Amino acid sequence: MDIKSFLKKNFENTNFQDNELKNFFINKVGIKKNLPDIIKIVHLFANDPLITQQTVLSKLNILKEDLIKLNQEIRENKELQKIILKMGSGERYWNSILPFAKHTNKVLNDDFNFPLRIAFFPGVSCMFYCGFCGRNQDAKYPSNSAEIGIQQLKSVINEINIGSTAISISGGLEPLTNPHLGSLITHAKNKGLRVPLITNAYSMTPGYIKKNPGLWDLDSLRVSLYGVDENTYDFVTRSRKSYKMVSRNIIEFLKIKKIENKNVKLGLNFIILKENIKDIRKLCSFIHYLNKESGSEIDFLTLREDFGSVTGHNDSLDKQRKYRLDGILDLQDRKLLLNELAYLENYKSKNFPNINIDYGYALNGLINNRLDYYLVRAEDIEVTKRGYSQLSVAIDLFGDVFLYREAGFLNRDGNKDYIIGRLNKDNSLKSIISNHLRNYNEAYIKDSNRFLDSFDHLLTKLVTQASKDKEFGIPFENGPIKQRSETVSINLGNNWYS
Ligand SMILES: C[S@@+](CC[C@H](N)C(=O)[O-])C[C@H]1O[C@@H](n2cnc3c(N)ncnc32)[C@H](O)[C@@H]1O
Ligand code: SF4
C-alpha cells in the first residue's frame, strides 16, 4: 500500500472501504476498530492542517462525542501522527504550524507570552521598486535613525530568552542600507541566536562586507533574486544596474566565503510570477554559472509564489509605486509551472545535486501533483487588531512594533492600525505587548489582509481554526494532533537549508 499516493487522492472520490487500505491500517498501523472513520480523519488532516472540527464532523456520519474519542485514538498512535504530519500535501504547512499551534490558547485567552518569532527590519531605504512589494516607494527613514534604531533592536535581543524565540532580519526596506547591520548580527549571535538574513544583495559589495564583518556571523543569508539577466531583473526592480551588481556581489561573497572558510549558508529566493515561469530554465543555468565563477556552491534555493500584498488588490491602495503586476498564478500557470519544476529537478540532479530546494507552502503541494493546492489566504475579517503578538511581531528602525509583517513598511497606507507601540527606554517589548493585550479593540478593517505575508496568512488561519474548534467544543487538546497540545515541547526551526 502506497500511503502517499492514497493521501493524494481526492477525498470525495476515495473508497475508504477498500480492503488493501483497511489491511494496511490494521496490520501496519495497529488500528483494530473504527475504520474507515479513522482513515478519513487522517486523510483530511494530512492534506488540510487548517480544517476545523466542525467541517470534519460534517464529512463523517458520527456524533461529536464519537469524534472526540476517535481523535484521542489518533492522537496516541505514533504511526498515524507520522502519516498526518509527514506524508500528505499539508506536510510543509504542518512543519510551520506545530511550534505555534500549542501557544494559540494564550492568544485566545489574551495571556502574555514573549513572541516566538521576531522579524527585525533595520533597513533605512530601498533602491528597488518590485511590483509585488508592499513598501511605500516614496518612504525612507532619516539617516540618523540607522544607528539609534540598531541600538533599540539590540535591546530587544537582550530581552529574548534563548531557545524560546527565533529571529530573522529582513524588511521592511533593504537591510543592507543600514551601515550598522553587521553589529546587530554579531550581537544576536553572541547572545546565542541563530540569525537568518534576507536581502536583495545590491549593496553586498566586498567593501560593505569588509566594513560589516558581522555578516559572517549569520547562520544563513538569503538573496532575493529578482531576475536571471539584465532585462528580467530590470522588469521587476526597475533598476538597470541591478542584475550586474547582484550577480557580481554573490560571486564575490562566495569567493571570500570559500577562501576564509566561513560557515554561513548562502541561498537564493526566486518569486515565481505569471511573467517569469519560463525563466526557471535560465535560473538553472544562472545557478550553475554562479557556482562555476565562484568555485563554491549556492547552498539552497527557495521558490515562492506572490502572496498578494499588492497584486490583486484595489488600485486605489498602495498607490506610491512605479507599477503593479497582472495577477497571481492561475490553474493554467500552475500546469506550466509543474513542467518547469520537473526541468529544475532534473537539472539539479545533474549539475548541483547538493543544493536544498525549499518549495514553500503551496508549491510543495504542487510538486506533489496537487494543482488545487493554493497558498492559504486569510480573509479581512480574520485580520484583527488583536493579532497574535504572543506568536510573532515585526519591529522597525523607529522601534515600532507591528502585528503583521507586511504592515512593517514605513508609512504604508493604513499600517498604523497594526502598530501596538514604540520601543524606548521606558517601553520594553514585553511591556508593549502586555499593554496591548489589555487594551486592543477587536475591530477589523476592509482590505487588511494585504498586511499579511504567507507566514502571517498561515498564523491567522491557525488562530481562526483554534478559536472555531474551541467554540465548537473540541479544542486543540481534544483534536487528533498530539503536537498541538501545550505540554509537548517542539523546536523552533528557522532555516531554509535543511
Ligand atoms: C520585503 S523583502 C525585504 C528585504 C529585501 N529588500 C529583499 O527584497 O530581499 C523580504 C522578502 O519578501 C519577499 N516578498 C516581498 N513581497 C512579496 C510578495 N508579494 N510575495 C512573495 N514574496 C514577497 C521578497 O522577495 C524578499 O525575499
Ligand atoms: S521586495 Fe525588497 S528589494 Fe523589492 S522593493 Fe521591496 S524591499 Fe525593495
Query: Which domains are delineated in the chain?
Result: 3-88 (no CATH), 110-367 (3.20.20.70)
pLDDT score for 374: 81
CA gap 327, 315 in Å, rounded = 12
Amino acid letter at 25? F
Ligand nearest to the CA of 452: 1
Q: What contacts 455, CB < 8 A, 6 or more positions away?
A: 96, 392, 405
Task: Specify the residue with its C-alpha closest to ligand 1, atom 24.
Answer: 224
Ligand 2 pocket check for 227: Cβ under 6 Å: no
224 close to ligand 1 (CB < 6 Angstrom): yes
If you measure from the C-alpha of residue 117 to the centroid of ligand 2, how many angstroms do you get, rounded to a whole number?
Answer: 21
Asked if residue 269 has its Cβ within 6 Å of ligand 1, the reply is yes
Cell numbers 518569486 label which residue?
271
Q: Assess whether the previous peptide bond of 179 is cis (omega < 30° from 0).
A: no
Per this entry, what is the length of the chain? 498
Instruction: Work out which ligand 2 atom sits closest to the CA atom of 126.
Output: 8
> CA-based Rg of the chain, rounded to a whole angstrom?
23
Cell representation of residue 158: 537582550
Q: Is the CB of 132 under 6 A from ligand 2?
A: no
Q: Which residue has the cell 557556482?
A: 291
Ligand 2 lined by 123 (C-beta under 6 Å): no
Q: What is the pLDDT of residue 494?
A: 67
CB atoms within 10 A of CB 86: 13
- Percent of the chain at pLDDT above 90? 87
- Using the 8-state DSSP alphabet, how is residue 80 labeled? H
Q: What is the per-residue pLDDT for 367?
A: 82
What is the torsion angle, in degrees rounded to the nearest 10, for the CA atoms of residue 418, residue 420, residue 422 and residue 425?
Answer: -160
Closest ligand 1 atom to 305 CA: 21
Ligand closest to 223 (CA) is 1
Question: What is the three-class DSSP state of 63?
Answer: coil
Q: Quick one: pLDDT at residue 294? A: 98
pLDDT in tens, 223-253: 999 999 999 999 999 999 999 999 999 999 9
**Ligand 1 center to 232 CA (angstroms):** 16
Query: Would you say the CB of residue 236 lies under 6 angstroms from ligand 2?
Result: no
Q: Is the CB of 242 under 6 A from ligand 1?
A: no
Per-residue pLDDT of the chain (498 residues; tens, 9 = 90+): 799 999 989 899 899 999 999 999 999 999 989 999 999 999 999 999 999 999 999 999 999 999 999 999 999 999 999 999 999 989 989 999 999 999 999 999 999 999 999 999 999 999 999 999 999 999 999 999 999 999 999 999 999 999 999 999 999 999 999 999 999 999 999 999 999 999 999 999 999 999 999 999 999 999 999 999 999 999 999 999 999 999 999 999 999 999 999 999 999 999 999 999 999 999 999 999 999 999 999 999 999 999 999 998 888 888 888 999 988 899 899 999 999 999 999 999 999 999 999 998 878 888 877 777 788 999 999 999 999 999 999 999 999 999 999 999 999 999 999 999 999 999 999 999 999 999 998 778 889 999 999 999 999 999 999 999 999 999 999 999 999 987 777 677 767 777
Asked whether 134 lines ligand 2 (CB < 6 A), one says: no
Residue nearest atom 18 of ligand 1, based on CA coordinates:
306
Residue 218 CA to ligand 1 center (angstroms) comes to: 19
Instruction: Please give the angle made by the CA atoms of 63, 105 and 155, to the nearest 5 degrees.
Output: 160
CA 101 to CA 334: how far, in whole Å? 30
Give me ligand 2 centre to Cα 101, in Å.
Answer: 30
Cβ 178 under 6 angstroms from ligand 1: no
> How far is C-alpha 44 from the geometric centre of its chain's CA atoms?
23
Q: Of the candidates 152, 143, 137, which has an alpha carbon nearest to the alpha carbon of residue 124?
A: 143
Element (H, E) at 58: helix 53-59
- Cβ–Cβ < 8 Å for 261, 315: no
Quote the distance between the C-alpha of residue 235 and its chain's center.
Answer: 25
Sequence-separated (6 or more) residues with CB below 8 Å from residue 194: 166, 219, 494, 495
Distance 281 CA to ligand 1 centre (A): 22
Q: How far is the CA of 133 from the centre of ligand 1 (A)?
A: 6
**Closest ligand 1 atom to Cα of 307:** 20
